[in-house]
Structure 1
Amino acid sequence: MVRRNCSSPSGAQIRLSPLPKVLSPRGHGSPELQLAERLADPARSAHRSGWICAPLGCADLFTFFFFVWWLMVVFWWLMMNGGGVLRLAVAVVLWWFSQVGGGGGLAVVLWWFFQRDTILMYKRASSKEYPNGFDREQNLGRSPNGLWKDIGNPSWKRPLPHILVATLSSLLFGYHLGVVNETLESISLDLGFSGSTLAEGLVVSTCLGGAFLGSLFSGWIADGLGRRRAFQLCALPMIIGASLSATTSTLGGMLIGRLFVGTGMGLGPPVAALYVAEVSPAFIRGTYGSFTQIATCLGLIGALFIGIPAKDVPSWWRVCFWVSAIPASLLAILMEFSAESPHWLFKRGRIAETEEELEKLWGASHVKSAVAELSKSERGDELDAVKFSELFYGRHVRVVFIGSALFALQQLSGINAVFFFSSTVFKNAGVPSDIGNMCVGIVNLSGSFIAMILMDKLGRKMLLLWSFFGMAVAMGLQGIAACTFLSSSRRVYLSIGGMLLSVMTFSLGAGPVPGLLLSEIFPSRIRAKAMAVCMAVHWVINFFVGLLFLQLLELLGPQILYTIFATFCLMAVAFVKKTVVETKGKTLQEIEIALLPSD
């Protein structure tokens, strides 16, 4: 996902004039800037004169944050208690009462009084009530007297260092997505293409093209060289690309550097999803799978934070690129001391090494049971090369279709539009762009932490359902904000509230779950290559959404466009409900046996 900063270099503005005379690296009154401001404040197209809105005052900000807080509480409440139209209606009525009658505190007290038992007594249901749920793994080992005993779950601490090293690739992914957001103006001035929208677009899109190529070949690299070597190979073009970008004095050198960086970006995330799924114990695999999304958010925030001085310090953008070489070098070095995936070793017939890595990851007492579990699905045919055509016919076509559709719906949910225009929406509220972008990053990170906590409690499917549903509601709010019959202040509230709700709900499920879920549902024999295909679909849809978004906005208007995004979100809810299986607490072998029919 790529965001383009449409705000002024200063980031502050007292009032918005009816004409788009905001200073921008794109020049005065550019078509893209006019479209951006149309989306953020559609009343411009209906009222060509007069002041539109002033910055939010303290009282307005308090009301706005109470509104956002209320939305988050209601969303959490519905997730914890299974939803329900009646409960949602009660929440909306209480919110309306708090706004119209000024009784916000009384509304909260009444709501808490009637629902306190539901909230305070919430606890996780046991697996006896839900046969498909797993509270803990059943691992059996032999005691000294020869009897079988339950040896419990593996230690969660053993695989943690290896997983943290792997998530450095996701940190780099997020960093390089955001590094040009604050520095693009300085780069264009120093390299001599200031004012050229084509050159600026190439700096962004070249990275996306490299990511597509890297993701397309990631499966074959991960299967051929192993997961560890794939990580090291992913770090190499990132180091080369960062060095070229930091030292170049021409646009061509910058584009070559961004192409190298993009190749590493495309290779890293699918391999990280594979690795985390294959080295994590089943009972905590969802929690560890969320680390990749958290690392991506940290990378985005880090890029925004490090890029702040770029507006005032000459050539600071070169430092921003040099900084990214540090985690890339750490990834290459530390992977040399990390464990290889036991699944990959077992597929290659290296049983002794498999046992060594399992002992390193899970402990000696779990080695035999883990090898026995691997043997359930590994039938000795994994050494045969998987043909590309095998992914699209026969017994594998269903899971590959589910994976590709999930990534496509993720991109069609409108999250790119939200990130693209976040700076403009905050600017219309009188908030500087850098602060606004940081707020979006913090909300994204907060949602990812919540997803990490809930992943192994509520399950992947539940998070996906509520995430896409919440995004549909958020897109509806932004569509309502585009209506001209609302007052300017309420449009600002709805725009910012809908945007933050979109980011929060996306980070709860639609963001972190697909990568983890697909690495779980794909059979071992095709896992790496199927992930590569799905990630390639992700980048293709991402490219076309970015390419066509502005044209569709100009042709259809923000109301219809947000309605389309909300429709895709509701389609995603129906798709997840119909096709996605719950994988919480199950081993990869159990999932594979359950999903694939026997030949």
Structure 2
Amino acid sequence: MRGRQRDMWSAYKRASRDHLNAYDREEGRLQNGIGKEFGNPSWKRSLPHVLVATISSFLFGYHLGVVNDTLESISLDLGFSGSTLAEGLVVSTCLAGAFVGSVFSGWIADGVGRRRAFQLCALPMIIGASMSATANTLVGMLLGRLIVGTGMGLGPPVAALYVAEVSPAFVRGTFGSFTQIATCLGLMGALLIGIPAKDVVGWWRVCFWVSAVPAALLALLMEFCAESPHWLLKKGKTAETEAEFEKLLGVLHVKSAMAELPKSDRGDEVDNVKFSELLYGRHFRVVFIGSTLFALQQLSGINAVFYFSSTVFKSAGVPSDLGNICVGIINLSGSIIAMTLMDRLGRKVLLIWSFVGMAVSMGFQVMAASAFLPGSGILYLSVGGMLLFVFTFSMGAGPVPGLLLSEIFPGRIRAKAMAVCMAVHWVINFFVGLLFLRLLEQLGPQVLYTIFATFCLIAVVFVKRNVVETKGRTLQEIEIALLPSPS
């Protein structure tokens, strides 16, 4: 296997050198070694574009958390207080919308471009949030949440694509972590803004109105951001591609960046990608890896831990508001640490140790559910295990899959393959949320948390065997390593 990888790497170096020389001859100047001559491009040029893109991730987190503290007052005002079914629908309707948005995200991103896709993502978030804020019935609230959900589903895969395609290779991991940090900030922002909801009549409407502001900013600021050079070249817009590379990397790095673009990004059969191509044939392996990573991410039990955190804190005598803020701070802290390590240790190392830590944390939860421990021991293991689980998740299993998938998919199928994997993510997410309390009741916490720990260990084995390290590699290098040319 290692010999095969060395052969592929040698083949890449030869192909890359030949391709670069051919491109230089067309331009009438020698550019061989230009990347080394001028060093890495400045990360400051692409940073503003990445930050604008992460507004979509902030909105994603905000809308996930906006009903946590406001649900009780919403149910009283709209007349469905006491109905667990109605309350569950208010929470989960956006997940159905997110599934729809994620399914179509790849076709939208490839059809109108990444920038326009972001603006289309912002539109339902503005309309849906406004409908929820002005709702006087349960139906109006659910419709608003459904519309918001379509924007939630569209935003994350497009953000992962855009960040990977506009970031220099040496900081792509760091910039990719910004999406997870923005999601954490969105969750925390929703919790903080929602605190007065229990005391101030109608405050929940303010919480929904507030979300329209960053959505409008996303739509506006995207007008001034660079389009993905990869998408432009797919459409045959070579001059525009060079102009965007100059904006993102600087004029000295345009030629080398153009030469390093994968051949699959050069307009060959771009619009002829069929859904069947993603499920078998040459592309099956990378789509399988991506879908399985997202499935294992959700089957690890992360959402179950988030859903159950308030109950754990209440049993420990900690107010749920304070407890949720603690979870948010832990999540944010882990994401920031992951950002600093992503381009140093690499994606694969962070994934492996993240899942190992999550398995250990679930082991603490299993021990806490055992009857032989004293009350204080149960308390420390339960709360400590939950916080450790969130921390280790945010160090790898949270931020890495979205970034890694946008790196490992060939340019020709990148957007559509991301859409398929995000659809898998939302389906597993939905069923975990739907069945968690039922399984907890039927199986008990020991068995259920053991199952979650087992999935974490399965993830460790899967990552070791199937995931290649992408740290510091160009997208072309990664494509060649994972998708050898057909014989």
**TM-score (norm: length of structure 1):** 0.76
Q: Please say if residues 159 and 179 of structure 2, whose CA atoms lie closer than 8 Å, have aligned partners that are also in contact.
A: yes
1:320 aligns with 2:210: no
Aligned positions of 1:17-96 closer than 5 A: none
Q: Please say if residues 95 and 149 of structure 2, whose CA atoms lie closer than 8 Å, have aligned partners that are also in contact.
A: yes
SS at match of 1:431: coil
User: Displacement, 1:384?
Assistant: 3.1
User: Displacement, 1:381?
Assistant: 1.3
Q: What is the distance in 1 between the residues matched to 2:418 and 2:482?
A: 17
Q: Report the counterpart of residue 362 of structure 1 in structure 2.
A: 249
Q: What is the distance in 2 between the residues matched to 1:148 and 1:167?
A: 33
Q: CA 1:598–1:379 in structure 2 vs 1: closer, same or farther (change >3 Å)?
A: farther
Q: What is the distance in 1 between the residues matched to 2:270 and 2:484?
A: 21
Which amino acid is 2:416 matched to?
K
User: Displacement, 1:383?
Assistant: 3.3
1:173 aligns with 2:76: no
1:556 aligns with 2:447: no
SS at match of 2:184: helix
Q: Please say if residues 219 and 531 of structure 1, whose CA atoms lie closer than 8 Å, have aligned partners that are also in contact.
A: yes
Q: What is the distance in 2 between the residues matched to 1:161 and 1:225?
A: 22
Q: Report the counterpart of residue 398 of structure 2 in structure 1.
A: 511
1:381 aligns with 2:268: yes
Q: What is the distance in 1 between the residues matched to 2:179 and 2:131?
A: 27
Out of 108, 121, 130, the position equivalent to 1:243 is 130
User: Displacement, 1:202?
Assistant: 0.9
1:204 aligns with 2:96: no
Q: Please say if residues 233 and 266 of structure 2, whose CA atoms lie closer than 8 Å, have aligned partners that are also in contact.
A: no
Q: What is the distance in 1 between the residues matched to 2:218 and 2:32?
A: 44
1:351 aligns with 2:238: yes
Q: Report the counterpart of residue 477 of structure 1 in structure 2.
A: 364
Q: Report the counterpart of residue 521 of structure 1 in structure 2.
A: 408
Q: Report the counterpart of residue 590 of structure 1 in structure 2.
A: 477
Q: What is the distance in 2 between the residues matched to 1:431 and 1:542?
A: 27
Q: Report the counterpart of residue 124 of structure 1 in structure 2.
A: none
Q: Please say if residues 233 and 267 of structure 2, whose CA atoms lie closer than 8 Å, have aligned partners that are also in contact.
A: no
Q: Report the counterpart of residue 66 of structure 1 in structure 2.
A: none
1:406 aligns with 2:315: no
SS at match of 1:290: helix
1:253 aligns with 2:253: no
Q: Report the counterpart of residue 339 of structure 2 in structure 1.
A: 452
1:392 aligns with 2:279: yes
Q: Please say if residues 287 and 452 of structure 1, whose CA atoms lie closer than 8 Å, have aligned partners that are also in contact.
A: yes
User: Displacement, 1:380?
Assistant: 3.7
Out of 104, 108, 117, the position equivalent to 1:230 is 117
1:438 aligns with 2:322: no
1:194 aligns with 2:119: no
Out of 309, 317, 322, the position equivalent to 2:196 is 309
Q: What is the distance in 1 between the residues matched to 2:279 and 2:69?
A: 42
Deviations 1:63-118 (A, max 9, x none): xxxxxxxxxxxxxxxxxxxxxxxxxxxxxxxxxxxxxxxxxxxxxxxxxxxxxxxx
User: Displacement, 1:385?
Assistant: 2.1
Q: Report the counterpart of residue 9 of structure 1 in structure 2.
A: none
Out of 446, 464, 468, the position equivalent to 1:577 is 464
SS at match of 1:310: helix
User: Displacement, 1:378?
Assistant: 3.4
Q: Report the counterpart of residue 13 of structure 2 in structure 1.
A: none
Q: CA 1:580–1:320 in structure 2 vs 1: closer, same or farther (change >3 Å)?
A: same
Q: What is the distance in 1 between the residues matched to 2:269 and 2:135?
A: 45
User: Displacement, 1:424?
Assistant: 1.1
SS at match of 2:272: coil
Aligned positions of 1:81-230 closer than 5 A: 150-230=37-117
Q: Report the counterpart of residue 14 of structure 2 in structure 1.
A: none
1:543 aligns with 2:403: no
Q: What is the distance in 2 between the residues matched to 1:551 and 1:146?
A: 63
1:330 aligns with 2:217: yes
Deviations 1:271-314 (A, max 9, x none): 00000000000000000000000000000000000000000000
Q: What is the distance in 2 between the residues matched to 1:520 and 1:540?
A: 23
Q: Please say if residues 407 and 475 of structure 2, whose CA atoms lie closer than 8 Å, have aligned partners that are also in contact.
A: yes
User: Displacement, 1:147?
Assistant: 8.1
Q: What is the distance in 2 between the residues matched to 1:239 and 1:358?
A: 31
Q: What is the distance in 1 between the residues matched to 2:435 and 2:31?
A: 66
Which amino acid is 2:108 matched to?
I
Q: What is the distance in 2 between the residues matched to 1:583 and 1:308?
A: 41
Q: Please say if residues 377 and 593 of structure 1, whose CA atoms lie closer than 8 Å, have aligned partners that are also in contact.
A: no
Q: CA 1:372–1:146 in structure 2 vs 1: closer, same or farther (change >3 Å)?
A: closer
Q: Which has the higher helix share?
A: 2
1:416 aligns with 2:303: yes
User: How many residues are paired up?
Assistant: 464
Out of 156, 164, 186, the position equivalent to 1:299 is 186
Q: What is the distance in 2 between the residues matched to 1:366 and 1:375?
A: 16
SS at match of 1:421: helix
User: Displacement, 1:445?
Assistant: 0.1
Q: Please say if residues 348 and 382 of structure 1, whose CA atoms lie closer than 8 Å, have aligned partners that are also in contact.
A: no
Out of 464, 489, 492, the position equivalent to 2:379 is 492
User: Displacement, 1:375?
Assistant: 5.0
Q: What is the distance in 2 between the residues matched to 1:453 and 1:469?
A: 20
